[in-house]
């Protein structure tokens, strides 16, 4: 992800876009891209939503929006000095405590 | 990112959450988490938005929401077989053609 | 809606919140409240989503978020001098031209 | 708003769109339209955001998105039997208790 962050930063700097890239603006842009992803799915049934990659046109659109979401997330993190992978790793650990696994029969099964 | 995707998939499978993880539901959840990030910034000036990491409480909240956005993005991609880093790399290449760099004096400088 | 707009404006003015109510901030807040509404529905099936008002707790939450969305929409419109009902009425007229009704058998039925 | 709700319901029914209008889908569409409004403002400064109605093209775009947000909000409320004006009125009353006005010198001034 660091290579991608570096390419995004170079890209924006070369086009003199960095003054627009305040954290506030970047999260707005992130939420707009997330909504563009939602838009693809908004009228689909759950079953149809699982088939979107079968249509090359829709698949390309989905991948394009995924790229936009990731791009703004990485630029936001870069601007504020956040390591997104470390943040997610820490969150998974907190969630493992918050949502402990239910005891299951085989874990409790007699030796 | 693959390690994180694996941990997220195991986490959800162990809690029997996978039936809820349709692509449609995952993008909705992604957009909700993006909005929770926006909420932190919604009343801030551009200048204040650049200082959010100075407050430990706000910094933790920002990192927590970044983790949630990344988590849903990775789970969405996993469900549909999308490689988010490859999607972003391809997008940057398309953008380099779409937004070509302006000619600059030194690139045009006489030999 | 004008009475509600007046009450919202008085409420914000009395609490000296108006400096925060730039159009940019108000649309961010609007999108956050819309996402809070989405959050209620994100893991529900289409069928479950039609039953949310059966639970008094969920019904109150839905109404609360509807109020928040409408509040920020009205304040945004007030700030920019937009009449939301007139805007919607004009849009419906445009849509009637954009999506004309299909000819139906009985409209074309022989005399 | 009731007249607009009736027109929207007739419009959707005539086009046989009602099966798509589950509450879950309508809130997704509402959030997408709110994001389209955010998109207009995402790179603007607070000052620029206050001037958007000065450009006829941008003004038309803003009014169009306002209409879309209101349309989906009204259709969502219609589907679930919610009165949005009553919900907002009740919310303002709750907020008046939640954010009481600070005592001000002249309210406390001796007679």
Instruction: Give the residue among A30, A40, A37, A31 at the shortest CA–CA distance from A8.
Output: A30
Map residue A26 onto helix, strand or coil: helix
The domain limits of chain B are 2-86
Give the rounded distance of the alpha carbon of A40 from its chain centre. Answer: 16
Residues D55-73 pLDDT 10s: 999 999 999 999 999 999 9
Contacts of B28 (CB under 8 A, 6+ apart): A38, A41, C38, C41, C42, D28
Distance CA D27, CA C37 (A): 7
Phi-psi label, residue D81: left if phi above 0, alpha if psi -120 to 50, beta otherwise: left
Contact A74, A26 (CB under 8 A): no
Which of the residues C37, C42, C72, C75 would you substitute to probe the B interface, choosing the one with the greatest number of B C-beta atoms within 10 Å? C42
Map residue A102 onto helix, strand or coil: coil
Give the pLDDT of chain B (111 residues) as one tens digit per residue. Answer: 889 999 999 999 999 999 999 999 999 999 999 999 999 999 999 999 999 999 999 999 999 999 999 999 999 999 999 999 999 999 999 999 999 987 655 544 444
pLDDT above 50 for D109: no
Distance CA A65, CA A37 (A): 6
Distance CA A80, CA C75 (A): 31
Kindly state the average pLDDT of the residues D33-49. Answer: 98
Q: Which of B9-13, C59-63, D104-108 has the lowest mean pLDDT?
A: D104-108
Give the rounded distance of the alpha carbon of A41 from its chain centre. Answer: 16
Chains in contact with chain C (at least 3 beta-carbon pairs closer than 8 A) = A, B, D
pLDDT above 60 for D29: yes
CA geometry: angle B19, B31, A6, nearest 5 deg: 110
CA distance A109 to chain D (A): 42
Half-sphere exposure of B58 (CA within 13 A, CB side): 15
Q: Cβ separation of C45 and A46 shorter than 8 Å?
A: yes
Contact A52, B23 (CB under 8 A): yes
CA distance B72 to chain C (A): 12
Question: Residues B46, B50, B56, B58: is their CA dihedral positive or negative?
Answer: positive
Contacts of C82 (CB under 8 A, 6+ apart): C76, D53, D62, D63, D66
Nearest to D77 among C11, C30, C66 (CB): C66
* Predicted local distance difference test score (pLDDT) of residue A76: 98
Question: Packing angle between helix D56-80 and helix D2-14, nearest 10 degrees?
Answer: 80
Interface size A-B, in CB pairs within 8 Å, comes to 162
Nearest to B28 among D28, D35, D46 (CB): D28
Task: Name the CATH superfamily, with its identifier, for domain D2-86.
Answer: MazG-like (1.10.287.1080)
Residues A23-64 pLDDT 10s: 999 999 999 999 999 999 999 999 999 999 999 999 999 999
First to last CA, chain B: 46
Contact A103, A33 (CB under 8 A): no
**D23 vs A37, C37, C61, CA distance in Å?**
19, 10, 14
Nearest to A31 among C31, C45, C46 (CB): C31
ipTM over cut 0.95: no
Instruction: Give the residue among C84, C62, C61, C60 at the shortest CA–CA distance from C72.
Output: C84
pLDDT above 80 for D1: yes
């Amino acid at each position: 992800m660091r290579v991608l962050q570096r390419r995004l930063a170079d890209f924006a700097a070369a086009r003199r876009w960095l003054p627009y890239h305040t954290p506030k603006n970047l999260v707005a842009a992130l939420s707009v891209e997330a909504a563009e992803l939602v838009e693809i799915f908004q009228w689909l049934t759950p079953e149809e939503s699982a088939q979107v990659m079968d249509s090359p046109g829709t698949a390309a659109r989905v991948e394009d929006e995924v790229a936009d979401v990731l791009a703004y997330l990485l630029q936001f993190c870069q601007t504020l000095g956040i390591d997104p992978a470390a943040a997610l790793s820490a969150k998974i650990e907190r969630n493992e405590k918050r949502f402990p696994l239910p005891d299951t029969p085989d874990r409790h099964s007699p030796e």
